[in-house]
Chains A and B, each alone.
Chain A
Amino acid sequence: MLNILAQPPTDAIPTPDVAWSGLMPLLILSGGAVLLLTIVSLAKDFIPRWFTPIYTVLIGIATGVAAIPLWLRVTDTPSAADPNNGPFATLDSSFGVDGFSVFFTMLFAAVVVLVALLANDYLRREDIDGPEFYVLMMLSASGGIVMASANDLIVMFLGLEILSIAVYVMAAMHSRRIESQEAGMKYFVLGALSSAVFLYGIALTYGATGSTNLVEIREFLSNVILLNDALLLAGFALLLVGFGFKVAAVPFHSWTPDVYQGAPTPVVGFMASAVKAAAFAGMLRVFWLTFGSYRTDWQPVIYGLAIATLLVGSFVAIVQTDVKRMLAYSSISHAGYLLVGVQAATNEGTATVLFYLAAYAFMVIGSFTVITLATGPGDAKTSLTDIAGLARTRPVLGIALTVFLLGQAGVPFTSGFFAKFYVISAAADANSYGLAIVAMLAAVVAAFLYLRIMMAIWLDGDEVADPTELAAAKAGIPVPWGAAVVLVVTVGFTLVFGLWPEPMIEMARDAVPALAIG
């Protein structure tokens, strides 16, 4: 009945070729995580406390460094001297190594390094023991790499689950805070629901096209005219719902504010940067690259999602009083801008999404670093009145937060300005003028939100204006070294690429994907 049963028996089970060089960054990151877990389980009493964060930072750096030769190889064109240059696929064509996947590998490596530095101080302050946080974060990031590289829908599902399952645990990590466990629980239930919907989308797409491999699906869709494409369109819709949950697009955003408020703040930084980036990587790979010939069917849906996400994210944020919830809605509105770039469905649109994700990852990790430090033990003081006067009591944090908020608002001379400018111009180039106008209006509304936080930290909080108290506050709470490094890097990134965005956008253009056939 099945083809495989009809073949004559052979001595060895055929195994696909593995291009180990293409998998190297992924192997370093995931292998490093497993190794750390093993070392610490075996020799817990002999491991000093500084070992795990330093180890995680080194693994993150090694992952990024291992990606550099790969980047040079896949973005080059094949020549007589180097016929192996250019994108390629491995593992029976289920894992693509192209500029796109290597770009995201480097981004995840950077996120792992930054969040590890931040988490070190946080975990000490909250007295949470053990290496689990670092192990889970590295595993989660390797799931993100799998998602960005997946050339097969089942592999993408596995990547999505590796990414998400680790983050569920990280959200519930703070076992003494009921808010953290509630956040973990909510994220888990809704995440599992969305994964199941995503999987059903894979099943229907498989049923309609006869394959789960993205290259084969693309070939099939561009060569065959389906008389009845209802099954395929249902598959599109369910896949889009699955991605919509992960990127927090309206109307699938309801978990975002609760989870962002309840989860430990460094975890929120990781969620907002890495999880969103991985979900958009998957979305671009599946929709733009694979379902490109059906773009007239899915573009209008993403158009609608983008408008709803922009408006809800910007307007609902205004009435919030909790800083973490405000940033949650801000992250929803950023998802709207990213959808604007996805909707364009052009090379340029995709490149702008990559630029936006990189710029946003650094800004949001920086913002949550400041929030981690400013809200104090137990993440207790997160309301707007609690951080009032931050710029006067802790000027370093106040200035850094101002830079990140200006960046997220899209003020010129920050990387956020170019991020917004590029996606909106990509939408206009793709003749989506209405969407471009809505995006610009939403930017104005969202600016009000960021101004409100800035007003609170610079102008409010007169009760601490007493000079002696102010001096004590300034002297009493130093910025820990790990967080200081994160702040320097993220502020630097936001300002440098705000003044000089060319290298980054050129890199994003080089990364625009090509589905490798191997």
Chain B
Amino acid sequence: MILGLTITTSYYLALSAMLFVLGAFGVMVRRNPLVMFMCVELMLNAVNISFVAFGDSMDDIRGQVSVFFVLVVAAAEVVIGLAIVVAIMRRRPKITADDISVLRG
């Protein structure tokens, strides 16, 4: 009970959905590659909130176990993403996603 408000599972799910949409929006509109990675992280962690909330509401441990797998995957993903950005930035400092456009369809 906070301020007379009972926090139920659906609050956590709504928070998770909002963070997920925020992250997806960020990936699409932000031009800085680093910020884009951060937005992807935000999406993955938003999903983690969903997993924990569902697991808690169903009294099931698997929701929380899934979070560990997602954390590992997110870490691996960032390692690769940063490596690619560093490789590009070495050649062309101060790059944004708009500058990386040799390929066009």
A residues neighboring B (CB under 8 Å): 1-4, 154, 157-158, 161, 165, 168-169, 172, 175, 178-179, 181-186, 188-189, 192-193, 195-197, 199-200, 202-204, 206-207, 210-212, 254, 257-258, 261-262, 325
Contact = CB atoms under 8 A, between A and B. Distances in A.
B77 A161 contact: yes
B50 A188 contact: no
A461 B67 CA distance: 58
Interface in B31-87: 33, 36-37, 40, 43-44, 46-47, 50-51, 54, 58-63, 66, 69-70, 73, 76-77, 80-81, 83-85, 87
Contact of A199 (B27, B70, B101): B70
Contacts of B103: 179, 182-183, 186, 257-258, 261-262
A4 B36 contact: no
A404 to B, nearest CB: 23
A161 B80 CA distance: 12
A188 B73 contact: no
B84 to A, nearest CB: 5
A202 B44 CA distance: 12
A189 B50 contact: no
B24 interface: yes
B54 A207 contact: yes
B88 interface: yes
Interface of B: 13, 16, 20, 23-24, 27, 33, 36-37, 40, 43-44, 46-47, 50-51, 54, 58-63, 66, 69-70, 73, 76-77, 80-81, 83-85, 87-88, 91-92, 97, 100-105
Given A165-B80, A212-B66, A2 B59 contact: yes
Contacts, number: 124
A495 to B, nearest CB: 33
Contact of B43 (A154, A165, A169, A196): A196
A196 B44 contact: yes
Given A157-B69, A165-B76, A257-B105, A172 B84 contact: yes
Nearest to B101: A182
A329 B53 CA distance: 41
A158 B73 contact: yes
Contact of B27 (A2, A157, A193, A261): A193
27 contacts: A161-B76, A169-B80, A169-B84, A172-B84, A175-B87, A178-B91, A178-B92, A179-B103, A181-B84, A181-B91, A181-B100, A188-B84, A192-B40, A192-B77, A192-B81, A193-B27, A193-B40, A196-B43, A199-B47, A200-B50, A203-B54, A207-B50, A210-B60, A212-B66, A254-B105, A257-B103, A262-B102
B59 A204 contact: no
Nearest to B17: A200
Contacts of B59: 1-3
A204 B77 contact: no
Contacts of B46: 200
A184 B73 contact: no
A329 B92 CA distance: 30
Contacts of A181: 84, 87-88, 91, 100
Contacts of B16: 203
Contacts of B84: 168-169, 172, 181, 184-185, 188
A239 to B, nearest CB: 13
B24 A3 contact: no
B47 A196 contact: yes
A361 to B, nearest CB: 24
Contact of B88 (A158, A185, A195, A206): A185
Given A172-B87, A185-B33, A188-B80, A258 B105 contact: yes
Given A154-B69, A200-B46, 6 more contacts: A158-B69, A182-B88, A186-B103, A189-B36, A189-B97, A207-B54
A475 B66 CA distance: 59
Contacts of A169: 80, 83-84
A157 B68 CA distance: 13
A206 B63 contact: yes
A114 to B, nearest CB: 25
Nearest to A187: B84
Contacts of B37: 192
